[in-house]
Amino acid sequence: MDTFEAPIHPFRRAWKSRSFLIGLCLASLILIAGFISLFWTPHAIDSLNVANRLQASSSQHWLGTDQYGRDILSMLMIGARTSIIVALIAVGIGLLFGVPLGLLAATKRGLVEEAVMRTNDLIFAFPAILSAILITALLGPGAVNAVIAIGIFNIPVFARVARGGALSLSGRDFLLAARLSGKSGLRITLEHVLPNIANLLIVQATIQLSLGILAEAGLSYLGLGPQPPLASWGRMLNEAQTMMAFAPQLALYPGLAIVVSVLGFNLLGDGLRDLLDPRLRRRIR
C-alpha cells in the first residue's frame, strides 16, 4: 500500500535532473533580471531620446537602442519584471480561488461538486488566451485587467488539480485516523489534505507561471496588456514588427526573452514534477 510522506532529500536528486537544472538556470536568469530592475537598470526607459534611436550594440548600450532611443537591455529587464509580476499575481488568483473550490468539491461531493466542476468545465471550454482577450476587451486594456483576465483562467486549472489530488487521498488511513480523533472536515482538509497535495500545486503553479508569461506577452502584443511607459515584451515585439527590414534586433531580443522564460519555467515545472511525484520517486529509488 502507498504511503504518503514528505519527500526526502529532493535537492540531492535535483542535481541529477537535467531539465530541472536547465529550467532553474533559465528561470533564475529571468527572475534575477526582473528583480534587479526594481532597483537598477543600465538606463532609464521613461525618458525618450529620438536622437539616440536605433543604435547598434555598444559598450554604452549592450543590446543597442530602440526606435525611441531607449536602452533595449533595460527594456527587457523591466519587461521581465512586468511579465513575472502579472503571471505571479495571476497564479495567485488561481491558487486563492481554485484550490478552495477544488477542495470543496472533493469533500462535499454531490451537488456542490457538480456545480463547481461544471462551471470549471465551462471556463475551461474557452481557449485561455481567447477568454483573456475577451475579458480585457470588456474591461479595457491595462496591467490590472490583464492580471484579472489571466487569473480567471487559472482558477479552473487549480480547482481540478486540487480536487483530483484530494480525491486520490480519500479513504487513506491517516485521514481516517484524523477523523476518528474528532477533527472537523475543515481541519482535516487544512492539516492533512492540503500539505499532501502541495507538491502537485507547486508543479502546476510553475507551469501556469510560464503560461501566464506567454499570455501576458500575447495580450500586450495585441495592445491589451500593460500600457506605456511600462515596458512589456509583447508590445516590444509588436512595435518591432514593421521595422524588421532594417532593425531585426528589435524583434529578436524580446522574442528570445519570451522563449527563454517560457522554456525555463516549463522545464522547471517538468523537473519539479519528476522530483516530487511519489510514483516516479519510487522508481528512481
Does the protein bind other proteins through residue 28 (CB under 8 A)? no
Count of positions on this chain that bind other proteins (CB under 8 A):
21
Does the protein bind other proteins through residue 228 (CB under 8 A)? yes
CB of 143 to other proteins, least distance (A): 12
Residues written for the chain: 285
Q: CA 18 to CA 20: how far, in whole Å?
A: 5
Interface residues for other proteins in 239-258 (CB under 8 A)? 241-243, 245-246
Does the protein bind other proteins through residue 53 (CB under 8 A)? yes
CB of 87 to other proteins, least distance (A): 23
Does the protein bind other proteins through residue 138 (CB under 8 A)? no
Site string for other proteins, 65-84 (x = CB under 8 A): --xxx---------------
Task: Output 46 or 191, the one with its CB closest to other proteins.
Answer: 46
Which position among 127, 185, 195, 229 is part of the footprint of other proteins (CB under 8 A)? 229
All cell numbers assigned to 272? 519539479
Does the protein bind other proteins through residue 47 (CB under 8 A)? yes
What does the binding site for other proteins look like in residue numbers (CB under 8 A)?
Answer: 46-51, 53, 67-69, 141, 223, 227-229, 238, 241-243, 245-246
